[in-house]
Amino acid sequence: MGNIISSFFVKNTLCPDIWENHRRVDKSKMKLEIKDGLLEIANEFIDFLGFDIFIQDITMTGSLANFNWSEYSDIDLHIIYDFKDTGEQEEIFKDLFNLKRTVFNSQHDITVKGYEVELYVQDMNEPHMSTGVYSVLYDEWLEQPVPKEVKIDPDKIESKSEQWMEIIDTLLEDLKDDSLIDSVEKIDKLKEKIKKYRSCGLEKGGEYSYENLVFKFLRRSGYIQKLFDSKNKIVDKSLSIQEKINT
């Protein structure tokens, strides 16, 4: 637990792997090789979407665009698009692009300087609470991060994380005698509960809220993935049984 919790502490500089003048945020620029590489990755993803859409911007956000970067950080690359351009099909396109994102990220293992790249189509009208946002397309800060002292209580993070880990473990253990529909429904409800828990923290306390840090702990410790993997195994097992019955 110690390594994960220590990764939440704020650094004095931006990540030197990504930024020129990483000690002076007001003078910092994304390294040219990083910018060119991210644009190439973004364009590959845009082609994968399969639609001729007008891109407003390509941005990077998250801890690597801030002072809370660590070995666990990934590069959050956002394709900014106005979903209102799709008219009445806005929700359909949001679901479609989210599915495309999942497929693309699962089919590719893309890293830049050892950091995994995660792609996402972001609605330009969607509020974003990150305190560090860089336009990779226009090579400038949209939201320049401000170094600040943040007090973090490791014991509090550990305690709250252990509570969620126990909830997840107990749920997965209790699913053994449930039906496919009940099992999937229970996992989805817990995933949604964790998502809301994090969202409330972001709204009230921002990136350094304990709710967000606990979520990051669960993700970095593999517990979020554990929920996804368990759901997939349950569905696969059910389909395999059905296949045997049919044959």
Closest residue by Cα to residue 110 from 175, 163, 167, 45: 45
| pLDDT at res. 241 | 53
Per-residue model confidence as pLDDT tens digits over 17-63: 999 999 999 999 999 999 999 999 999 999 999 999 999 999 999 89
At residue 105 the predicted structure's pLDDT band, cuts being 50, 70 and 90, is confident
β-partners of residue 57 are 80
Give me the mean pLDDT over the 160-182 stretch. Answer: 88
| pLDDT at res. 2 | 65
Report which of residues 104 and 241 the model is more confident about: 104
Per-residue model confidence as pLDDT tens digits over 196-240: 999 999 888 888 899 999 999 999 999 999 998 888 888 887 777
At residue 242 the predicted structure's pLDDT band, cuts being 50, 70 and 90, is low
Give me the mean pLDDT over the 96-118 stretch. Answer: 91
Closest residue by Cα to residue 68 from 145, 144, 176: 145
Q: Cα separation of 76 and 133, whole Å?
A: 10
Q: Cα separation of 225 and 238, whole Å?
A: 20
Mean pLDDT of the chain: 90
At residue 127 the predicted structure's pLDDT band, cuts being 50, 70 and 90, is confident
Asked if residue 165 lies in contact with residue 218, where contact means CB atoms within 8 angstroms, the answer is yes
At residue 130 the predicted structure's pLDDT band, cuts being 50, 70 and 90, is confident
| pLDDT at res. 148 | 79
183 pLDDT above the threshold of 70: yes
Give me the mean pLDDT over the 88-101 stretch. Answer: 93
Give me the mean pLDDT over the 150-172 stretch. Answer: 92
Report which of residues 231 and 1 the model is more confident about: 231
144 pLDDT above the threshold of 90: yes
177 pLDDT above the threshold of 80: no
| pLDDT at res. 4 | 86
The reply to whether the predicted model has a pTM over 0.85 is: no
